[in-house]
Amino acid sequence: MSKKKFKSQKENRDRNEIRELFDALLSLINSMEGKAYSVPQIAKKLQVKKKSLINELYEMLDSLVYEGKLDQLSNGSYKPAKSAKGIVGIVDHVNPRFAYVVTGEEGQKDIYVQTRDLGDAMHGDTVRVQLLSGKRSGSSPEGKVVELIKRGRNRFVGKLEVSKNYGFVVPDFKKMYQDFFVYPENLNNAKHNDKVLIEVTKWAAGDKNPEAKVVEILGKTGENNAEIHSIMAEFDLPFRFPENVLRESEKISEGITAAEVAKRKDFRNVLTFTIDPEDAKDFDDAISFQQLPNGRYEIGVHIADVTHYVVPGTVLDDDAFDRATSVYLVDRTVPMLPERLSNALCSLRPHEDKLTFAAVFEMDDKGKVHKEWFGRTIIHSDHRFTYEQAQEVIETGEGKFAQELKILNQLHHILRKERFKKGAVNFETTEVKFRLDPQGKPLMVIPKIRKDAHKLIEEFMLLANRAVATYVFKMKKAETTNTFVYRTHDFPDPQKVEDFAVFAKQFGHKVNVEEAAVSRSLNKLMDEIEGKPEQNVLQSLAVRAMAKAKYTTEAKGHFGLAFDHYTHFTSPIRRYPDMMVHRLLQHYLDGGKSVSKKEYEEKCIHSSEREKRAADAERASIKYKQVEFMSLAEDKVYDGIITGVTDFGIFVEIVETKCEGMVRLADMKDDFYEFDEKNYRAIGRRRKKVYRLGDKVQVRIKKTDVDRRLIDLTFEIDKTRSIDF
């Protein structure tokens, strides 16, 4: 061996030793918990014996003192600085190259972590990170994971690939970038190409794959049932109700006693009806209507009295709390309550006596509320409208209860106009549903169209929710408000509004970013962009700029609705917070004292987390059907609109189907495109062609991946397109 080659190998070994020493030192600092150690003690703990490494250790310690991660005491020993304990957060593994650790702490930016610095942490894990000084020039600081605090999950879904001596499971979840190794004895009869649920048996560090065992076979990859079960397992949604929950639900008496009726306000002789989607099975709200002798209208919003049947301390209530919400996937509902309750006992079916909890309003023809009453009622629904049927009556003025619907529709328009006048934000985003064949294959993508019948029901539900929240808030005792469950929506982050305004300006639109003017300015913008090419992208970005609504005991307002106080009272069949609201309202109506704020805040946090999980699962099921639909679509050119630009690709929504795919920058061969993050665009290095958010483009389907719910597109190059500098 030549001296030169030998020297090179020695230098590599030395560098590796120094790197390993530094990593070990950072881990030690993280575990010191305020204790001080001398250099000999540190060297002993790190098992450092080489003189050359002892010298390196001194230099590292001096450097860490300089960076503020260590304090050197007067006796020469070292102690972690207050800021050196590391930052705790949850891993968001954005792509194979890097992740962010999301801290959730006010004022703390998310921390950029290269994949090699994650250790064996994966997406969703709770970790502790140390910041790396001078490592990154971007907007986020760079860090390295020094401790894995808690695994986010240990069960995953994926496609099984079996070879002669072993199997691998390729996870469906897009943010998992490692396959799972499965020994033959852990396959549990699963076969090649099965969609399976696995449980991790051994986490692995470095380049090794984690090991797992198959715990459930969901079906063959590509089959509708298997794919939907995959989504349910991915988001940890329950496949079925536990037997003890079902047994308890079956024991509930369906009879309504005379004693129970005597406790309630009887609306059985008052005109009452429901308006719901055509395929609805649970009807949890009904409207009663009658004209009073004084010329005003009495309008009751009657809500299924779920808490009459579901009692705290039962397994039924515990299970409902754990689920916290029903989840609506493209081909099925994952209900919060067993069918006997959701579709039978509690559902406000026509021509049946039903127990309800109501908010009743006396209103004039100008929409002014003169009186309100809250309490338990009993109703007998006279008719069940679908939205389409009610809409036809509203439009033609003919049919069942035409006069009553006409008046309710007029009042809804007044209430809605008043709400926007006070600063409510008008976001009408397009949602889609699917027409499926008996096997679950998508035949058609259908945009959901909201008409007056939908908005009528929505407006009276908003009225009831706001009235209940305001009523409880004003029930002050000893200058304090009663603990209650509110639905709040914070004012958007000023920086996000500023960024959005800058972007909207590129399309010639002005957004006033002053706090008092934001909502009206946004509404004006929504009117301006109606029917224009930039409508979808600006609506989408405006929604992203908004804060997220949540449940809390803090009596804050709702920015989006422009309400000082708001709650969820109107859907207890499908939302647990509404059940909490019913119980608390009755407790306070009965003169009860304020309940534990801490206990209910914890329940609110849980409910908000479950709500997010449900929304993510619903989006995943829609994306799956969109990808499946496009995999069956003909090979042709589609009109599209650019909805996102990143450093690795350009997202395009196909106008005809509302399906979103991506053109990868690496696939764009006409030039080398660079990402201009500040202006949401990609620019060709040579020809300066620009692709920006909101641009109209034409695309073809390149590839669909149903397993990972991805659509790859290619641009249909327009050679006449102008060059934008």
pLDDT in tens, 69-87: 777 787 888 887 755 567 8
- Of 79, 94, 85, 78, the C-alpha closest to 147 is 85
Determine what percent of the chain is predicted with pLDDT higher than 90. 52
**How many structural domains compose the chain?**
6
Binned at pLDDT 50, 70 and 90, residue 242 comes out as very high
User: Which structure tokens are listed for 369?
Assistant: 């509320």
Question: Of 58, 83, 108, which residue sits at a domain end?
Answer: 83
For residue 427, the Cα-to-chain-centroid distance in whole angstroms is 18
Say yes or no to pLDDT of 722 above 70: no
Q: Under 8 Å CB-to-CB from 548, ≥6 apart: which residues?
A: 489
What integer is the mean pLDDT of 601-612? 96
Summarize pLDDT for 419-474 with one digit per residue, the tens: 998 888 887 767 788 888 888 889 888 888 889 999 999 999 999 999 999 999 99
Say yes or no to pLDDT of 479 above 70: no
Q: Considering the domain boundaries, does residue 446 fall inside one?
A: no
- Of 629, 259, 229, the C-alpha closest to 446 is 629
Summarize pLDDT for 247-281 with one digit per residue, the tens: 999 999 988 999 999 999 999 999 999 999 988 88
Rg of the chain over Cα atoms, rounded to whole angstroms, equals 30
Structural domain including 108 reads: 86-150
Instruction: Tell me what pLDDT residue 721 has.
Output: 44
Question: Of 94-108, 545-559, 704-718, where does mean pLDDT reach its minimum?
Answer: 94-108
Contact 169, 198 (CB under 8 A): yes
Q: Considering the domain boundaries, does residue 613 fall inside one?
A: yes
Are residue 464 and residue 535 in the same domain, yes or no? yes
Contact 396, 285 (CB under 8 A): no
Are residue 37 and residue 72 in the same domain, yes or no? yes
Q: What is the CATH number of the domain that holds 213?
A: 2.40.50.700
Contact 542, 493 (CB under 8 A): no
Q: What is the CATH number of the domain that holds 102?
A: 2.40.50.140
Instruction: Tell me what pLDDT residue 9 has.
Output: 55
Are residue 69 and residue 177 in the same domain, yes or no? no
Say yes or no to pLDDT of 213 above 90: yes
Binned at pLDDT 50, 70 and 90, residue 53 comes out as confident
Q: Considering the domain boundaries, does residue 627 fall inside one?
A: no
Question: Of 380, 396, 431, which residue sits at a domain end?
Answer: 431
Summarize pLDDT for 388-421 with one digit per residue, the tens: 999 999 999 999 999 999 999 999 999 999 999 8
Instruction: Tell me what pLDDT residue 25 has.
Output: 82
Q: What is the mean pLDDT of the chain?
A: 88
Instruction: Tell me what pLDDT residue 68 has.
Output: 64
Are residue 119 and residue 66 in the same domain, yes or no? no
Q: Considering the domain boundaries, does residue 1 fall inside one?
A: no
Contact 301, 363 (CB under 8 A): no
pLDDT top residue among 304 and 74: 304
Q: Considering the domain boundaries, does residue 692 fall inside one?
A: yes
Say yes or no to pLDDT of 105 above 90: no
Say yes or no to pLDDT of 724 above 60: no
Are residue 381 and residue 502 in the same domain, yes or no? no
Are residue 364 and residue 279 in the same domain, yes or no? yes
Are residue 556 and residue 599 in the same domain, yes or no? yes
Summarize pLDDT for 616-637 with one digit per residue, the tens: 999 999 999 999 999 988 889 9
Q: Considering the domain boundaries, does residue 234 fall inside one?
A: no
Summarize pLDDT for 519-538 with one digit per residue, the tens: 888 888 888 887 776 777 78
- For residues 69 and 74, what is the distance between their CA atoms, to the nearest angstrom? 17
Are residue 68 and residue 139 in the same domain, yes or no? no
Instruction: Tell me what pLDDT residue 133 has.
Output: 63
Instruction: Give the global pTM.
Output: 0.81
- For residues 653 and 696, what is the distance between their CA atoms, to the nearest angstrom? 10
Q: Considering the domain boundaries, does residue 523 fall inside one?
A: yes
Say yes or no to pLDDT of 689 above 50: yes
- For residues 62 and 251, what is the distance between their CA atoms, to the nearest angstrom? 71
Q: Considering the domain boundaries, does residue 197 fall inside one?
A: yes
Question: Of 8-17, 588-597, 658-667, where does mean pLDDT reach its minimum?
Answer: 8-17
- For residues 270 and 289, what is the distance between their CA atoms, to the nearest angstrom? 7
Question: Of 150, 176, 194, which residue sits at a domain end?
Answer: 150
- For residues 504 and 516, what is the distance between their CA atoms, to the nearest angstrom? 19
Are residue 564 and residue 575 in the same domain, yes or no? yes
Instruction: Tell me what pLDDT residue 661 has.
Output: 93
Instruction: Tell me what pLDDT residue 409 has.
Output: 97
Q: Where are the alpha helices (DSSP H) in 397-438?
A: 402-421
In single-letter form, the type of residue at position 713 comes to L
Instruction: Tell me what pLDDT residue 159 has.
Output: 92
What integer is the mean pLDDT of 204-208? 73
pLDDT top residue among 509 and 599: 599
Instruction: Tell me what pLDDT residue 347 has.
Output: 95
User: Which structure tokens are listed for 479?
Assistant: 């200058």
Are residue 345 and residue 420 in the same domain, yes or no? yes
What integer is the mean pLDDT of 675-704? 88
Determine what percent of the chain is predicted with pLDDT higher than 70. 92
Binned at pLDDT 50, 70 and 90, residue 3 comes out as very low
Instruction: Tell me what pLDDT residue 524 has.
Output: 86
Instruction: Tell me what pLDDT residue 723 has.
Output: 40
Burial pattern 523-533, b for ≥16 Cβ within 10 A else e, equals bbbbebbeeee
Summarize pLDDT for 177-197 with one digit per residue, the tens: 889 999 999 999 999 999 999
Q: Under 8 Å CB-to-CB from 516, ≥6 apart: which residues?
A: none
Say yes or no to pLDDT of 206 above 80: no
pLDDT top residue among 482 and 26: 482
What integer is the mean pLDDT of 325-351? 95
Are residue 35 and residue 116 in the same domain, yes or no? no
Q: What is the CATH number of the domain that holds 59?
A: 1.10.10.10
Are residue 269 and residue 381 in the same domain, yes or no? yes
- Of 147, 146, 30, the C-alpha closest to 85 is 30
